Every structure is written in structure tokens, then in C-alpha cells.
Amino acid sequence: MSDDTDSETSLGVTDDWRRGSAVISRRGFLAAGAAASAASLVGCLGGGGDGSTPTTTGDEPEPPWTTDDLAAQVEEGTTLTIYSGAGERNTWESFVEVLNDEFGVGLEPNVVTAGGTEISQRFIQERQADEDTADLCTAFPDIRNQIYEDGESVAQDYFEWDIDQKFWFSEELEDYFTTKWGASLYNGGASLVMPVNEQIFEEQGLEIPSTYNDLLDDQYEGLSMGALTDPVSDQLGWVIGYHAAQTDMEPMEWIETFMDHFEVSGYNSHSNAGRSVAEGNEAFMVYNFPWTIAELVTNDEFSLVANFTQPTKWQTAEGLSYINKNAPHPWAARFALSAALEPPVQKRLINDVPAITIARTELDLSGIDIGPYAQQRLEAELDPVDFWENEEYTQTGLEAIESDAYKI
């Protein structure tokens, strides 16, 4: 599951806000005015915005919190309102069901999903109207981009702070799992893949390359390559920045050399490009998302190989999730964030929560029924790219696109 606002994310992302049968268009929300609309939507969609549901029991624990500490603060029937720009309602309801089962709590999920921009804007508008509804938040690209532009103070205005210090996992997990305002709960493993048509490579007597720099060898010159006419800048930026650093070339020189090495065809979507490689129109493509090509890779009709290079990018902040600073049910949100990273929960996410991958790739998954493609993605040699490093790659990708070094 990805928070990318491209329509080809790992889950179907809708253009409307949804909870059950209620559908409210963003246009209608804006037309009515932020304050009035936020108030009416909270009433329509529910979620305990008035704080009427009890959320805490006993003495409040001192951080760093354990999951058991937090579970003790959550009363039976407490509503947990999740706002997500990635995924469908059943994903997050199943997620809460696993938390309840593992820790014996009785959270009631109230799930609101929409496209990344829509859900980001709804959250912002509710804050402006002083009608906060969300407890746990994920996949807010508008706020993510605002943090990139204006710094951490943006996150501090919206989300609970010092997540990297307050929880048990602060000492047990690698630093790239957390920021001061959130933790990565899902989307572990490779977040980028090079699709390769195995039949074409075999017919030309070529080995599938282990790295992008292998492709600069003379034997690969002139191969047909698919490329996105509008690539995702941080993905392209990693391909350029990481691999240029392994050579004596500057990043823009590297990508210009790379593009000139092949017969390039442009595609307007990741889906179209992946299918074209699968059908044998191209030998490979620059990059794609693992979830976009999953059905093609597992279809015996095609000779498509998911080539996870050594290493391949793991964008660790793709599953970054946050607690609303003004959450109606903060202890429920803290519990959910903490419980989601516990090993038993992570392992159950694989089969008990639809269309989600775990964050903790270091866990022993032996004995768990996991598909070979999912296992390949999780066990690939990874280059973990944290929140701020990903912004650096974004700038590299933008420079390549705007300077025409990335030529289609």
C-alpha cells in the first residue's frame, strides 16, 4: 500500500470521502465553507469529535510507553477514527480487528478514506474549523510536501510530537522507522522495481542486470526501454542519485548517459508501461512500483520478471502514520500506533489485512503463508531511504526532468 497520489497505488484510492454509504464531494465541502462544512460532516460521519466516548482508565503511564501500558488506557467501545489517503475501508477495519484480537481491547473503527490530496485537505479544514475528528492519520501527501518545503514545524502544528522518543520502539527499531511526528507501520520492503522481459533477455543472450550501472555495459546498448513521460520524481531521483554516486559521474551526466544508451519509448502511466514490457514491446523499463506490476509478474501468460536490483529502494516513510495533535481519542491512537509495530501484529498483517505489507522486514516470517512475490519484495537487498533523504532524491529527480537530462 502506498501513499503516492498517482492513481496506480497498491490499493484502489477513491476520489470521494467515504464512510459506509456516506459520500460527500470535496467541491460541496469547499462551497459550504470550511467551518460550517466541517461541523456538518463530523455530525454526518460520526467519529466522536465531541470527545464523549471515554478513552482513558486509571493513571496515565510515563513514556516510553509499552503497548500494554497504552492498552490499559483504552476503554471498551472507544472509537478510533482513522483518516487515510491510501486504502479502502475494509483494510483499516481489518487492521483494527487484528489489534483488538491481539491485545484484548474493544476499539470501534471509524474509517474515512479518500485520495491523498482530498483527505489531507479535509484534515486541514477540520483543524481550521476547530472540529478535529481524526485520531490516527496516514498518507497525507499535501502535509508531507508542506513539511518538505517549510520544515518540521509544520508537522509539530498538526501531529503529536516526539514519537521517536515516547514509545517502546524508540530503542528497538532502526531510526528510519520513525520521525518526531510519526512511525512507519506498513509498506516495508522494496518500493521500486525494474520490470524485465525475461524472454527478450534470453533471446539476446543477456543476463538480467543486478544494478542499474550494469546496464551501462556495451552488451546492453540499444535495448528497448520503456520510460515514464511524467515519472515520480523521488523514484527517478533515487535511480539517478544512488547509482551516480557509485561512479565518477555527476547525477545529471549519469542519467543523460543512461538514457542515451537505449532505444527509449515513452509511456503515460506505470500500468501501461509495465504491461508493454510484459507483452514484449520493451526489454525493460526504468522503474515501476512493485504493486503496479504484481498481477503481471504472477501471470504465467507473460515473461515479466520483477528485477529488484542490488540494492533497491525502500522508501521507509511510505507507511508513515501520525497521531492527530488534537485527537478526540489520543490514547486509542497511541495504542494503535504502538500495537501495529509489535511482531505478532506485523506478522498477522500479511494475511489478515487485505492489500497491505508489513514494515518490519527483519522479522522471522518462517511458518507464515506468504506468496513468493511478496516474499521476494520483502527479502530484497534494500537501501532504506528515510523521510528527509527521500526529499533529496525528489530534488534530483525534478532537476533531471526540468533540465531535459531525462530525455524521452
- The string of pLDDT tens digits covering residues 265-292 is 999 999 999 999 999 999 999 999 999 9
| Amino acid type, 285 | M
What would the grid cell of residue 257 be? 548517459
Judgement on whether residues 258 and 350 belong to the same structural domain of the protein: no
Write the Ramachandran bin of 249: left for phi over 0, alpha for psi from -120 to 50, otherwise beta. Answer: beta
Report the CATH number at residue 55: 3.40.190.10
Cα–Cα distance for residue pair 164/172, rounded to 1 Å: 11
Give residue-wise pLDDT tens across range 180-195: 999 999 999 999 999 9
Is residue 59 very low, low, confident or very high in pLDDT (cuts 50, 70, 90)? confident
Judgement on whether residues 180 and 199 belong to the same structural domain of the protein: no
Strand, coil or helix: 383 = strand
pLDDT of residue 24: 29
- Can you tell me the mean pLDDT for 174-180? 96
Cα–Cα distance for residue pair 37/219, rounded to 1 Å: 61
CB 102 within 8 A of CB 78: no
CB 14 within 8 A of CB 108: no
- The answer to whether residue 371 is domain-embedded is no
Cα–Cα distance for residue pair 350/78, rounded to 1 Å: 26
pLDDT of residue 55: 52
- The answer to whether residue 1 is domain-embedded is no
pLDDT of residue 406: 97
Q: Smallest Cα–Cα separation from 267: which of 292, 237, 295, 241?
A: 292
- The answer to whether residue 90 is domain-embedded is yes
Is 60 exceeded by the pLDDT of residue 51? Answer: no
Write the Ramachandran bin of 151: left for phi over 0, alpha for psi from -120 to 50, otherwise beta. Answer: left
Cα–Cα distance for residue pair 118/317, rounded to 1 Å: 20
Give residue-wise pLDDT tens across range 315-359: 999 999 999 999 999 999 999 999 999 999 999 999 999 988 899
What would the grid cell of residue 272 be? 501501461
pLDDT of residue 87: 86
Judgement on whether residues 233 and 117 belong to the same structural domain of the protein: no
Is 90 exceeded by the pLDDT of residue 38? Answer: no
Percent of the chain topping pLDDT 70: 86
Judgement on whether residues 48 and 145 belong to the same structural domain of the protein: yes
Higher pLDDT, 360 or 37: 360
Is 80 exceeded by the pLDDT of residue 54? Answer: no
Judgement on whether residues 227 and 327 belong to the same structural domain of the protein: no
Strands 108-113 and 79-84: parallel
Judgement on whether residues 210 and 335 belong to the same structural domain of the protein: no
Judgement on whether residues 132 and 208 belong to the same structural domain of the protein: no
Judgement on whether residues 173 and 65 belong to the same structural domain of the protein: yes
- Can you tell me the mean pLDDT for 172-179? 96
Is residue 40 very low, low, confident or very high in pLDDT (cuts 50, 70, 90)? very low
> What average pLDDT does the structure give for the chain?
88
Higher pLDDT, 383 or 56: 383
Least confident of 20-29, 235-244, 383-392: 20-29
What radius of gyration, in Å, describes the C-alpha atoms of the chain? 22
Is 70 exceeded by the pLDDT of residue 127? Answer: yes
Cα–Cα distance for residue pair 52/383, rounded to 1 Å: 45
Cα–Cα distance for residue pair 251/241, rounded to 1 Å: 6
Judgement on whether residues 352 and 243 belong to the same structural domain of the protein: no
| Domain limits for position 134 | 17-188+319-359
Is 50 exceeded by the pLDDT of residue 17? Answer: no
